[in-house]
Chain A
Amino acid sequence: MSGLTRRSALGATAAMAAGLALPGSARAADFAGRTIEFIIPFAEGGGSDVWARFLAPFIARHLPGRPTVIVRNVPGGGSITGANEYAARARPDGLSLFGPSASTHLPFLLGDPRVRYDYARWTPVLVSPTGGVVYVSARTGVRNGSEIARLRDQELVFASQTATGFDVVPILALHLLGLKVRYVFGMRGRGEARLAVERGEASIDHQTTPAYRASVVPMVNAGTAVPLFSYGVLGADGQIVRDPTFPDLPHFGEVYRALHGRDPEGPAFAAYTACATAAFAGQKPAVLPRDTPPDIIAAWHRTIAAVVADPDLKARGEEVLGDYAQAVGADAERLYRVATTISPEARAWVRDYLTANFNVRF
């Protein structure tokens, strides 16, 4: 953990030096009459698409010169295609904003050979965090989260999309907790996996905050599902703290301590932290090419700060953004660096783990 925080602090400092130290020093950028493209590496209709379409009118309202902001979808390759294209083509003119997501971060962190983009070459102006909750079916016999130790006596069934995507986070978490889990792959989305729990085919699952609140909370209220823990959020000091949306729910670290009697550490935990931050706390950044002139980046920072403070956004953003504080400026930079970096040892560990357990070939 200490390695991670130190690195993130270093990253943040570097970022400050590169871009943030200059606001106000340059002339104000003006985008009047221009068209800003918000490029999303997914097809219409996904979570990132909805996020971008929700933000686009607010960005248009607050950018200097009130330009048109459009969302352009570049789908394919599970978002790798769009990210590669942005990395190769985007010009440093502040006119094209890119919105990668967890499925863009994770292949980068795991060292997927198809990846031709580098997060270090981008600079974030916004990071929208989300959270996630791991829950079990009441059929497991567990009545509340404090009984998690009882799960060690049985084989749990987890319905997953793939081992290398978003679900790598619960896979690593449940491995660290020492639970025995059988994974069934090939689900097409978290919704199908939740359905498998409702049908009784699967017994453990995780959902992001909006889906959890809409579809799992009714199950919890009906007594058919029991929440175990949240992934937590990244606190100001770089430590994982409880998710503000679920203040009564322990985060992963607390559950680990309760089960093992000590704090989690080592490469396995470093790998988990990197993946969990990429998938949740740092899930949706909006980035510009790093070599964009400082005055333009500064204008973007001011814009996004105004967007986030817009009372209209606060009133209407519940369904899309949840209760999470949108990270801007230095906060965005800090969160972004943590979410897009992994130590070589942790990367090696997670690759070996996935190869040994899930036949993944890198």
Chain B
Amino acid sequence: MTAALLDALLGLLTVDHFAFLMLGVCLGLVIGVLPGLGGIAGLSLLLPFLYGMDQTSALAMLIGLVAIIPTSDTFTSVLMGIPGSSASQATVLDGFPLAKQGEAARALSAAFFASLIGGLFGALVLTLFVLIARPLILAFGSAELFMLTLFGLSMVGVLSGANLAKGIAAASLGLAIGMVGAAPATGEYRMEFGSLYLMDGLPLVIVALGIFALPEIVDLLRGGASIAERAALGSGWFKGIADTWRHKWLSLRCAGLGAIVGAIPGLGGGVVDWIAYGHVVQTTKDRGNFGKGDIRGVIAPESANNAKEGGALLPTLLFGIPGSGSMAIFLAGMILLGLQPGPAMADRNLDVTYTIIWSLALSNVLGTGLCIALAPGIAHLTTLRYALIAPFMFMVISFASFQATRSFNDMVTLLVVGVLGTLMRRFGWSRPAFLIGFVLAPLAERYLYQAVQFAGWSFLTRPIVLIILALTVASLWAGLRRRPAGAAVNTEGVGGAATRMLPQILFSIAIAGLFAFTFIEGLGVSFLAQIFPVAVGVVGGGATLLVLVQQMRGPKEAGTANFDTEASVSDFGPWPYLAWFAALIGLTGLIGFFAALVIFFVTFLRVVARSSWVQTAVLTAAAALFILTLAKALNLVFPGGLLQDTYDLPWPFR
């Protein structure tokens, strides 16, 4: 085994192979920095080039890209409060406040170092377990997976803000929206309004961008000026590394958690950062600072999300079952290279597996180095006026959203979810709780139904199920003890007390209406597809009614989370900027994305950013060039509008 490992390393260290590894790492770095674009988009970019490549070079390139994304996506999470990819949503909670306090350098270096530890740990897990992982992975059946989704949901306890009822309502809202589409048990469609688009359910990338990115962009725009309130990066590079070193056991624990969640096929990596974040809050005594800039809140998710990739390779290689969206494309890449995943990867093709492991380890080291080297340059962005950055952000999140199904509907969904996200942020509804609910809704329903169908209710007595159940109870207890005084993390920041409760009350009523709709829609399908929507409608509706009662009694009763800043701020709130984004989407619906984007850029830069014509022209040209390059590489036709329906235009206006 050692000899084979060394052979694989030497094979990788030739100039050719190493160059391709670097290529993958560099591309991954860029893709990771761009909000919303992650492994799926990055690997799709590389797929057309695999033809004719030798296996080692190609694998090194693919893995190089996958491995660095959870490291480089930290940049926007920390510097702009916008998750760079779905893997580092939780990093925002403490990373962004740290950056605002002038400690961006510390947060970034702690994050990168934690990513390195996580990445290397993941590679180690892969090395040690690739030969023996089959029985371990097989021990997780639908019953165990169902319990794991419950464990994930238990994190809502710590992420719900000070008002538990609101947190439960937010999570239920996520569950309800996650249920749109086909019911796993019967294939019946629910809440889809007869639309072919909604039958597939809402894509995670769009929901995450709408919930986290859009409200943040709008808020930053509203704040005017630049993001960094003080120096861009601040000092503290070594402090950050020292922080991670001081919390190395935490980092390793979270890396282990990440590797396990990644390795269990079926759970998906969508919530691994939140689980790690929940874990650190639960196991910490002095949790008062979480959500306001605690460095441990950065270290935990960053250790976990890099380790996840190593773990996720186990089911991908051994069973041919992709643990995540990006692993599905990696799998396609392997087949194009003439490698069929399966038991042979731990046997006849072990050399290939070792090449993958070394690529993973090397690219984590290289990626961390590159990120640290590039940090000052990237951080410089935060000193620019945000009005100059915002149109690029709008462009990138639109682009990322229509990566999902390549249709105009993707952009409309982004806007709708974005409005919901803005309102939730404003009224202090926990968005992490919502996202956890959204990701776990289809999984919880699917695995509960399957567990009962396979084994009946006796599945509850399986040993691993009982162990996970105990962990879930412990997690709930750890999250809920000493409530409400500082026990839970205020994920939505701290707002001033609202003087006008009416907007909040109207929002709560609308949410209650949505739960009623979920309930009614649930009654319309057959029994097996009915249980979940009905249960979510009842629980969510109940929690929302509780919130409403509190809100009716006035600001004090409604807990500390009153974010109706409308009363204290003299501008028009976030709405004008959301309207700008809506205009971009509306224009796309008329004349197609590319033409709309150019017009949007020119108008936005002239009107909002008050740029000179020269600056406007340069920035618009840069944006156009960037988006065309990316679209060309992905063979993408931009979402079209009425114009495109009527006339046949040449690309990129097609």
Contact = CB atoms under 8 A, between A and B. Distances in A.
Nearest to B50: A53
A125 to B, nearest CB: 21
Interface string B95-138: 00000000000000000000000000000000000000000001
B406 A75 contact: yes
A54 B336 contact: yes
Contacts of A188: 266, 446
A76 B343 contact: no
Contact of A189 (B51, B321, B636): B321
A44 B322 CA distance: 13
Contacts of A192: 265-266, 321
Shortest 6 CB-CB distances between A and B: which pairs? A186-B184, A214-B342, A45-B329, A191-B321, A45-B328, A45-B332
Given A76-B197, A77-B197, A201-B142, A57 B320 contact: no
Contacts of A49: 47, 332
B340 A53 contact: no
B335 A44 contact: no
A46 B332 contact: yes
A30 B44 CA distance: 30
Contacts of A202: 454
Nearest to A221: B343
A114 B331 contact: no
A319 B182 contact: no
A76 B409 CA distance: 11
A301 interface: no
Contacts of A37: 635
27 contacts: A44-B332, A45-B44, A45-B322, A45-B325, A45-B329, A46-B328, A53-B50, A57-B51, A76-B406, A76-B407, A81-B197, A159-B450, A184-B454, A186-B185, A186-B449, A191-B320, A199-B138, A201-B454, A214-B341, A214-B342, A215-B320, A218-B343, A316-B338, A359-B186, A359-B526, A360-B187, A361-B188
Interface residues of B, number: 54
A57 B455 CA distance: 48
B187 A162 contact: yes
Residue of B141, B332, B449 with highest tally of chain A CB at under 10 A: B332
Interface stretch (A66-74, A140-148, A342-350): A66-74
A195 interface: yes
B342 A185 contact: no
A320 interface: yes
A49 B450 CA distance: 29
A316 B54 CA distance: 12
Nearest to A116: B196
B454 A50 contact: no
B110 to A, nearest CB: 34
Given A73-B406, A76-B200, A192-B265, A45 B340 contact: no
A199 B134 CA distance: 10
A184 B407 contact: no
Contacts of B446: 186, 188
Contacts of B185: 185-186
Nearest to A210: B340
A182 interface: yes
Interface of A: 37, 44-46, 49-50, 53-54, 56-57, 70-78, 80-81, 84, 114, 157, 159, 162-164, 182, 184-189, 191-192, 194-196, 198-199, 201-202, 210-211, 213-215, 218, 316, 318-320, 358-361
Contacts of B199: 77-78
B47 A53 contact: yes
A191 B450 contact: no
B284 to A, nearest CB: 36
Contact of B52 (A57, A75, A218): A57
Contact of A201 (B184, B187, B197, B455): B455
Given A44-B43, A71-B635, A195 B187 contact: no
Interface string B246-280: 00000000000000000001100000000000000
Contact of A70 (B182, B339, B635): B635
Nearest to A185: B185
A192 B52 CA distance: 31
Interface string B323-358: 001001101100110111111100000000000000
B595 interface: no
A50 B336 contact: yes
A81 B409 CA distance: 12
B615 interface: no
B342 A215 contact: yes
B267 to A, nearest CB: 12
Interface string B175-210: 000000010111110000000110110000000000
Given A45-B44, A74-B406, A192-B265, 13 more contacts: A44-B43, A44-B47, A45-B329, A49-B332, A50-B336, A54-B51, A56-B51, A72-B637, A186-B185, A188-B266, A195-B319, A211-B320, A214-B342
A70 B338 contact: no
B319 A184 contact: no
B405 A81 contact: yes
Nearest to A219: B343
Nearest to A202: B454
A304 B94 CA distance: 57
B321 to A, nearest CB: 4
A49 B454 CA distance: 33
A362 to B, nearest CB: 12
Nearest to A85: B407
B594 to A, nearest CB: 16
A50 B526 CA distance: 37
A196 B332 contact: no
Nearest to B44: A44
A56 B321 CA distance: 25
A45 B453 contact: no
B377 interface: no
Residue of B197, B199, B455 with highest tally of chain A CB at under 10 A: B199
Contacts of B339: 319
Contacts of B138: 195, 198-199
A73 B44 CA distance: 10
Nearest to A186: B184
A213 B141 CA distance: 24
A213 B188 CA distance: 33
Contact of A185 (B40, B187, B320): B187
